[in-house]
Structure 1
Amino acid sequence: MAAELTAAEYAYLIILEAEGREISNNEMAELYEVRLRKPDYEKLNADGYVISTTKRNPFRHVITDKGSKVLGEALTIDQYRAGEGVKRSAGERQLFWAAMVAQQKLLLAKRNGTSAVIKKPEPADLDGRIRAAYTKLAGAPGDYVNLTELRPLISDASKGEVDKALVRLLDSPDVRLEPEPFGHRIGAEERKAAVHIGGEDRHKLAIGLR
């Protein structure tokens, strides 16, 4: 399996494994000074190692179970050896150093008996986290899910940050936020979880509408 991967692709998998979540190119650049771009993300997606969200910038990426599994396969020291006289570019050297930083994050977490240290995302990165949380809850793209179910999945972010991200998401053509049509179903929890837009409370989110 690992033989299918280039050294660069393998390095990106290590970074995504260390983060253990969907991460945007902007945040990857902030943390590791690299971005996962074409053709690397296309190859990793095609091989089933990574899932990328590319409908809007910044692109977002998350490692799959298959990607995590391939990292557990043994490598040999000569597997990705550059040919004699071949020099690595500055970009390649930065990518490989970024993978070393990510690998150390995993090693330190294992040594300390904790999960890998994850930087709290900036508000803009909540867009991708909301989409990921929605995917976990929705039976199919376009199904409506209650904000009372979605907010606990991103509870480390404040309500104000999540509200701003939800409003941003409405700029996407596949996103809808609607009020609960049956008033008797609106209780204290629904009112607390709602986002106020256009003079009304919105209680339900749908992503993937065409």
Structure 2
Amino acid sequence: MAEASPVKNSALKGLGPELPRASRDKLKDRGLIEVDRSVSPMTLELTDKGWRTCGELIGGEPPARSTGAGKAMFTVLAGLRRWLDRTDSRPADVFSPRGDETAPLDSSEKADKTVDIEASIRAAYASLAREPGSTVRLSRLRNELRDIPRGDLDDALARLRRAADVSLIPEENQKTLTDEERAAAVVVGNQQNHLLSIES
């Protein structure tokens, strides 16, 4: 998560605990990471579900057998969770790839980009909703807007929910959610939202 990009399998030992094959396969089978064997050495990258799971762990209790260093790390993560909740932010807002030298957008470019994405969300909702005000699953919305980076789309949804006609809604019956629908959730504070409603 901290690297926010594909990581060479051979580089993992330098970043933290080594990831043996059995553990790697378990993470892959659970849909938490993607393994790219088309390059050498192979690379590993978090899936959307992996990002969501990491986000849920931030601020959690340390495992019972944690060492002093491990407990210290969870204390730092608890502070990060408080900041994320206070600012309505997500881990993707904090972690970015190394060496990302992309020139920052000026304020007018940021404003234009924000307006464009929010307009795209409204247009996609209109094409998917049965009628204004009905709910649309975010998994369907993401499929319509797959060209927009997840971080940008999540940020736009979080901003858009502040509009009087827009609501982000959690699924009441969590047992009905598929893995795709869970992974598509937008987390605001500690609440996972799976549905979008726009009145107009």
TM above 0.5: no
State the TM-score, normalized to the length of structure 2. Answer: 0.43
TM-score by length of 1: 0.41
Q: Which has the larger radius of gyration?
A: 1
